[in-house]
Chain A
Amino acid sequence: MKWLLKIVEAVRPTFEEGGKLRTFKPIFEALEHFLFSPSTRTLGAPHVRDPMDLKRFMSMAIISVVPCAFAALYFFGWRFLAMVVVSYAAGLTVEAAFAIVRKEGINEGFFVTGILFPLIMPPNLPLWMVGLGVAFGVLIGKELFGGTGRNVFNPALVGRCFLALAYPKAMSQSYIEPSGDLLGCLLFKWLPSGSGVDAVTVATPLSAAKGGVMASTSHMLLGSISGSAGETSAILIILGGVFLLFTRVANWRTVVSILGSFIILTAALIASGATKVGIDGLCGPVVWHLFAGGLLFGAFFMATDPVTSPTTNPGKWIYGMIIGTVTVLIRNFTGYVEGVTFAILLGNIIAPILDEAIIEVRIRRLRSEG
């Protein structure tokens, strides 16, 4: 690799202070750090209290969604890989532009968004929409608020919300039938069936249920159902989610609170007969609802985002309850079939207020105790 190092060293002065291309230093640095360990050394003793830094945090989050990404490849074809590439390219362009303007380095924040975003897209969505959505999410949802760590909203969900409102027809018609073969699409099939434009649109379990057609719960567990690319396989989501909980990247309180409030409310609605599900009994329909749509994916990977969820523990409980409740309300009482995106974005808005209120309550209690 010496020749590569030589090239890097040769072009370094161009990007340093006084060089011709110094404006693009962040891009050079990002590339250099990608290829080699940085040549700078920390002076003085570093004060590390926990080996968990932003980079490790992000790596864990990416590892946890790898099973879902493979499921997307298996069920919906290699087109998913193209979606990932477009998502990273578009998002990193916006990220790099802001890094140059702000004269900061490109940080790892985007790498998670870049893989999460295609996972929550319908698998046959036009690629330019994938790029536009992620660019919008990063620009409006993150960079305008000050970049990684300062965003109020989850950028991937902002992008999805934007596409859902801007191109409702394309979004609802890009759900396709998953591959039924044993090998799935692993043998380099672009799409499970059809060639793109003529791929058959298939209703997701939640929208099919409105017409009385129920997908079987076991298919939903394995993932051989129509839906957003990475949200179909309940078991792989739970696998990745439990990994996140064990590594403490995601906080269990948020997840338990979302799923708990969702299960209790759905059970109450079904028991009281307010909503009708085409399955008998109480346990079956609740589990069906739990596996349907993006609830599990949202609860494990989206709502637990440490930046956009509350930092106080009581805040996390309330935040989770709001998300679970709003999801149930949107699913059962509005024209939308799925409401996880909106529910989490609403939760994001309330998160800072919750933190503020809880800290205020604590301070008052401490004061009154003297």
Chain B
Amino acid sequence: MAENKQSACVTCQPAGLCGGKGLLTLKDGAWRNNPLAIQVLGICSALAVTSRLENSLVMGAALIFVCVGSNLIVSLLRKRTPHRIRMIAEVAIIATFVIFFDQFLKAFYWDMSKQLGPYVGLIITNCIVMGRAEAFALQNPPIVSMVDGLANGIGYAVVLAIIGFFRELLGTGEIFGHQVLSSQWYTPNQLMILAPGAFFALGIVIGIFNALKGPEPQEKK
């Protein structure tokens, strides 16, 4: 609960004040309020696509692209969007960017598109994208909203890359498909490329992030 309160007070600041806080927004999204490791949002795709580092990176790139784009457009249209249909408008905007990225993958990186399967399309329902549009872009000017989208996208991508790195390394002994740990002395830990391995890896990453971040500062009154 404290987490929600804090994120609310950071994101709901008056638009004017946020202008000079681009860097702070960046740090907030990527680290202090990391969408995956601290807020534990969007873990479905984080568990599903991280069995290889390459897939994790592409997925992270997709989220950065969608998050930046949708935050920009939502923010540009924020004064023209009727309040009652804002959710539908946000989904339409997000879906546009997701479909764009999906088609791009299909056109130029067909193998990767096949490997990621439905998970690129499912970014439409990713809580992080929708959450940033709803909580940040609706109240803030376009440039800061883009920075916020970028920050949260990076936060997601970094965690995904960490999990993907360790799952591929420990699970197969490879990185980007190249043998790193020699099979002469390393026995691949097959649990890591199975679903339970993703849960363990994500749980450990969340634990480390929270430990590094330290306890939640007490609210001063």
Complex: A168 Cα to B190 Cα, angstroms: 8
How long is the Cα–Cα vector from A167 to B196 in the complex, in angstroms?
Answer: 14
Q: For residues 175 through 203 of chain B, which have their beta carbon under 8 Å from a beta carbon of chain A?
A: 187, 189-192, 194, 196, 200
Interface assignment of A357: CB less than 8 Å from any CB of chain B: no
Query: Is A165 an interface residue when CB atoms closer than 8 A count as contact?
Result: yes
Q: Please, which residues of chain A bring their CB within 8 A of the CB of B200?
A: 140
Q: How far is the CB of B47 from chain A (nearest CB, A)?
A: 16
Residue from the set B190, B191, B194 with the largest chain A CB neighbour count within 10 Å: B191
Q: Which residues of A contact B194 (CB under 8 A)?
A: 165
Most chain B beta-carbon contacts within 10 A, residue among A140, A165, A166, A170? A166
Query: Any chain B CB within 8 A of the CB of A111?
Result: no
Residues of A within 8 A of B196 (CB): 165
Report chain A residues within 8 Å CB of B190: 165-168
A100 to B191, CA, bound (A): 30
CB A143 to nearest CB in B, in angstroms, measures 12
The distance from the CB of A367 to the nearest CB of chain B, in whole angstroms, is: 32
Tell me how far the C-beta of A54 lies from the nearest C-beta in chain B, rounded to whole angstroms.
Answer: 28
Q: Is B191 a contact partner of A170 (Cβ separation < 8 A)?
A: no
Cβ contacts B45-59/A at 8 Å (1 or 0 each)? 000000000000000
**Interfacial chain B residues near A70, Cβ < 8 Å:** none
Q: How many A-B contacts if CB must be within 8 Å?
A: 15
Nearest-CB distance from A128 to chain B (Å)?
9
Question: Which residues of B are found within 8 Å of A166, using beta-carbon distances?
Answer: 189-192
Complex Cα gap A166–B191 (Å): 4
Residues of A within 8 A of B187 (CB): 167, 170
Interface residues of B in 70-88 (CB under 8 A from A): none
Residues of B within 8 A of A168 (CB): 190
Q: How far apart are B205's CB and chain A's nearest CB, in angstroms? A: 14
Chain B nearest Cβ from A161, distance in angstroms: 9
Question: How many Å lie between the Cα of A90 and that of B191 in the bound state?
Answer: 20
Q: Give the distance in Å from the alpha carbon of A167 to the alpha carbon of B200 in the complex.
A: 16
Taking the closest CB of chain B, its distance from the CB of A132, in whole angstroms, is 9
Contacts of B192 in A (CB 8 A): 166
User: Smallest CB–CB gap between A155 and chain B, Å?
Assistant: 15
- The chain A residue with its CB closest to the CB of B207 is A144
At the interface, yes or no: A162 with Cβ under 8 Å from chain B? yes
- Shortest Cβ distance from B170 into chain A, in angstroms? 9
- Report the separation of the CA atoms of residues A165 and B196 in the bound assembly, to the nearest whole angstrom: 9
Chain A residue nearest to B191 (CB atoms) is A166
Fill in one digit per residue for A217-253: 1 if any B CB lies within 8 Å of its CB, else 0.
0000000000000000000000000000000000000
Residue of B nearest to A167 (CB): B187
- Chain A 27-64, CB within 8 Å of chain B: the 1/0 string? 00000000000000000000000000000000000000
* B192, closest chain A residue (CB): A166
**In angstroms, how far is the closest chain B Cβ from the Cβ of A189?**
27
Bound-state CA distance A162–B192 (Å) is 10
Give the residue among B187, B192, B196, B200 with the most A Cβ atoms within 10 A: B187
Provide the residues of chain A in CB contact with B191, threshold 8 Å. Answer: 162, 165-166
Of chain A, the residue at the smallest CB distance from B170 is: A166
* Beta-carbon nearest neighbor of A140 in chain B: B200
List residues of A (160-176) whose CB comes within 8 Å of B's CBs: 162, 165-168, 170
A101: min CB distance to chain B, Å: 11
Measured between alpha carbons, how far is A168 from B187 in the docked complex, in Å?
11
Bound-state Cα–Cα, A170 to B196, Å: 19
Inter-chain CA distance A166–B171, complex, in Å, is: 9
**Residue interface bits B20-48, CB-to-A below 8 A is 1, else 0:** 00000000000000000000000000000
Q: How far is the CA of A225 from the CA of B191 in the complex (A)?
A: 29
State the CA gap A249–B187 with chains docked (Å): 39
* B167 CB → nearest A CB, Å: 12
Q: Kindly list chain B residues whose C-beta atoms are within 8 Å of the C-beta of A165.
A: 190-191, 194, 196
CA distance A140 to B196 in the complex (A): 13
Name the distance in Å between A341's Cβ and chain B's nearest Cβ: 14
Taken together as a complex, chains A and B put the C-alpha atoms of A140 and B191 apart, in Å, by 14
Give complex CA distance A167, B194 in Å.
12
CA of A162 to CA of B189, assembled, Å: 10
State the Cβ distance, B62 to closest chain A Cβ, in Å.
Answer: 30
**Please, which residues of chain B bring their CB within 8 A of the CB of A170?**
187
Q: How far is the CA of A168 from the CA of B200 in the complex (A)?
A: 18
Write the nearest CB–CB distance from A198 to chain B, whole angstroms: 18
Residues of B within 8 A of A162 (CB): 191
CA distance A167 to B170 in the complex (A): 12
A178 CB, nearest partner CB in chain B, Å: 26
**Separation of A170 and B194 alpha carbons in the complex (Å):** 17
Contacts of B189 in A (CB 8 A): 166-167
**Nearest B-chain residue to A162, judged by Cβ:** B191
**Alpha-carbon gap, A170 to B189, bound state (A):** 11
Known: A165-B190, A166-B190. 5 other contacts (CB 8 A): A162-B191, A165-B194, A166-B191, A167-B187, A168-B190
- List 15 contacting pairs A-B, 8 Å CB cutoff, sorted by A: A140-B200, A162-B191, A165-B190, A165-B191, A165-B194, A165-B196, A166-B189, A166-B190, A166-B191, A166-B192, A167-B187, A167-B189, A167-B190, A168-B190, A170-B187
A: residues with CB less than 8 A from B are 140, 162, 165-168, 170
**Pairs A-B, 9 closest by C-beta atoms:** A166-B191, A166-B189, A165-B191, A166-B190, A167-B187, A165-B194, A162-B191, A168-B190, A165-B196
